[in-house]
Structure 1
Amino acid sequence: MGLDSETKYQSTSEKMFKRIKKYLTLPKERLTLLKYYFYSMLIVHEDMHTKNLSVGTEGKTITMSPLYDIATTAIYQNTLGYETHLPINGKRSNIRRKDFYVLVDIMDINRQIFDQAASFILFNYTHKLPEYFDKLEQEAKIYKKTRSNLSGKKPRLIKALSLAETLTQYHQTRIKQLEKNGWYAQLGVN
């Protein structure tokens, strides 16, 4: 897109998708992009930017490269609380299906096909992902800090949770947000 590292967040999802669409001529690859982006929004990957999506070539065919540099940022204190940094339909948070359909339409993907793919991803996020939390090493801790105050006191560590506990708590909170935004009802996921 002609953006360097300093400006990689200065775009919108729509601009990025219009640009990528010029290269992704296969509907299957455009659907792959939508699935990647939906998953990124689903897990709250605030660090998604124009340099986190790439395409590759297989002969004369251009395909989506595998996802990289992707993890939830919601467990960190120093984030802005966005579901995505690049706005989707003018929004960074409280993304709903109708907002995501703007990207689906840009990619010329049938909405029902997208809904099926998104439903599968949402089901796995809800029911399969928690199986991995208990497998995490219990020694990994997440530390929370107090905020510095006006009297100049430095932040101090106040709480340590295991990574598994942190991810479980966040996951439960995220499911409630997704329910509130209608994702479960609209995609028919229980």
Structure 2
Amino acid sequence: MHGHAIKDQADNLIRVLDFIKGQTLYDYVEGLSLDHQTYFYERLPVILTNFIECIGAIRFLHEHGEKHGDIRRDHILIDRHSGRYRWIDFDFNYRHRENVYGYDLFGLGNVLIFLVGMGDILLPALKRQDHPALDRLAEDDLNIVFNNRVANLKKIYPYIPETLNRILMHFSKGANWFYENTLQLLDDLKAYQTST
């Protein structure tokens, strides 16, 4: 959260929050009127660079024992003045029995799949379109959290590089290994960026 701290007359610390003017990342991507291939090659590289910075911010929280708690694509605002992506709507610091940062990591994965797909690729929509990829899709290709969303986007868009699709597949039902921390996700995304 952006803002600054001041003390009131009773010496209580008060946090003054700044408003971030701009649109959500969700609204920005949904508002683009491009075909996917043009988006993928012309817009996604910049979006991905900014999203990697957002993941770095979550990594900072995790390294300090905190969580965002409600990572979604509509919880990233694109600052109208600076163009930087900013997290909003932090949730409470909840407890988990397994990986305490797992909920944040799956949120990051869901945002990443949305960004690479230029929106959610939903099974019902593919069925309505009688999309040719339906014959190639299997249960393992679906998002592990949202079972009607496709995670294996290479089966929809064959020009997506295998290195990027492999990252998406960590958030699929077919994953046999999940990211344990944000550093692993960041390393893979940065490796993909340098390979393109």
What is the TM-score with the length of structure 2 in the denominator? 0.26
Which structure: greater helix fraction? 2
